[in-house]
Amino acid sequence: MRAIVVGNVTEDLVFGLPRLPREGETLIAASRLADIGGKGLNQALLLARAGCDVRLVSAIGDDAAGRRAQDLAAAELPDAALQVVEAPTDQSIIHVAADGANHIVSSAFAADALGPEAAVAAMGRVAPGDAVLVQGNLSAGTTAAVLAAGRAAGAWNVANPSPIRWDWTPVLPLVDLAIVNRAELADLAGTDTRGTRALRAQGAAAVLLTLGAEGARLDADDGVTVQPAAPTDAVDTAGAGDTFAAVFVAARLRGLPASAALAAAARAAALTVSRRGTFSAFPSRDEIAACLGAAGAAA
């Protein structure tokens, strides 16, 4: 079970608010939390905790946040290939309301500094059956090069195009599984939950639509599979999508059927949303193993 994640690393600043601010409004935060995150790092970390052999390829700055990321990688992602670039380590500013809803704004200066040739070279050897994961933080050229390298090697290409900052249409035929939420699906396919079919028509072989408290929906060649959300008390939804994506991919790499993989991902995401923060909210290795074990036993 090997996964190559090419994505970003960020320093996350999380502000707890009574509600999300209106346009032009300033609110006083009830709490502030600094964490290391980024969709690339998050998904790599969770895949590793799910038992996968993981290589993370990412760009960081020569700064305190970059050094924190290196320390984290040394502890949990020993095969990480973190490229130090001239740009500062990227940041995300996250507003979390009392009901768990959030707004996120991220920079991509370091992520943009990771060019196509450097990214592909840092991937190392990619074997048939490996999973190659990308998100939306890298440039279009780097993302296309990574997916093309994965396809040429016979890997399973997974794309979580969040945030959407450029036109994904040219690279969707290189994507074996697209993982999107409702807003991302609308941006990519121009429609709501029915757009999974439209996105597949654009080239994505399968589409996994995450719907928050409504669960998830997988549209693939063998039909549509619906997964309810696992019961939980949501306090912070940041990182839930990364948890769902990573645990689903790990479960599939373990050979679990899609229905069991969806169930395991839902259980793991429920743990994440019940805690505050990003990295600090992620399930442990034992917790993810329990989610996978329960789903596998029920399959």
CATH number (domain holding residue 167): 3.40.1190.20
Give the rounded percent of residues in the chain with a pLDDT score beyond 70: 98
How far is 210 from 179, CA to CA, in rounded Å? 7
How far is 267 from 251, CA to CA, in rounded Å? 12
Intra-chain end-to-end CA distance of the chain, in Å: 20
| pLDDT tens, residue by residue, 166-179 | 999 999 999 999 99
| Residue 145 pLDDT grade (very low, low, confident, very high; cuts 50, 70, 90) | very high
pTM of the model: 0.93
| Residue 270 pLDDT grade (very low, low, confident, very high; cuts 50, 70, 90) | very high
In a domain, 285, yes or no: yes
Mean pLDDT of the region 273-291:
91
Q: By the 8 A CB rule, do 145 and 157 touch?
A: no
| Residue 163 pLDDT grade (very low, low, confident, very high; cuts 50, 70, 90) | very high
Residue 299's pLDDT is 67
In a domain, 22, yes or no: no
In a domain, 14, yes or no: no
| Residue 59 pLDDT grade (very low, low, confident, very high; cuts 50, 70, 90) | very high
Would you say residue 298 has pLDDT above 80?
Answer: no
Would you say residue 250 has pLDDT above 90?
Answer: yes
Q: By the 8 A CB rule, do 24 and 52 touch?
A: no
Angle at 261 between CA 100 and CA 14, to 5 degrees: 25
In a domain, 147, yes or no: yes
- The total number of structural domains that make up the chain: 1
Give the sign of the dihedral formed by CA 220, CA 199, CA 135, CA 156.
positive
Residue 87's pLDDT is 97
Would you say residue 192 has pLDDT above 70?
Answer: no
Residue 193's pLDDT is 62
Give the containing element (helix H, strand E) for 218: strand 216-220
In a domain, 43, yes or no: yes
Residue 190's pLDDT is 81
Would you say residue 9 has pLDDT above 80?
Answer: yes
Contacts of 131 (CB under 8 A, 6+ apart): 2, 3, 4, 52, 155, 156, 157, 158, 249, 253
| pLDDT tens, residue by residue, 34-45 | 888 999 999 999
Would you say residue 252 has pLDDT above 70?
Answer: yes
Mean pLDDT of the region 1-5:
94
Domain housing 56: 2-9+38-90+109-298
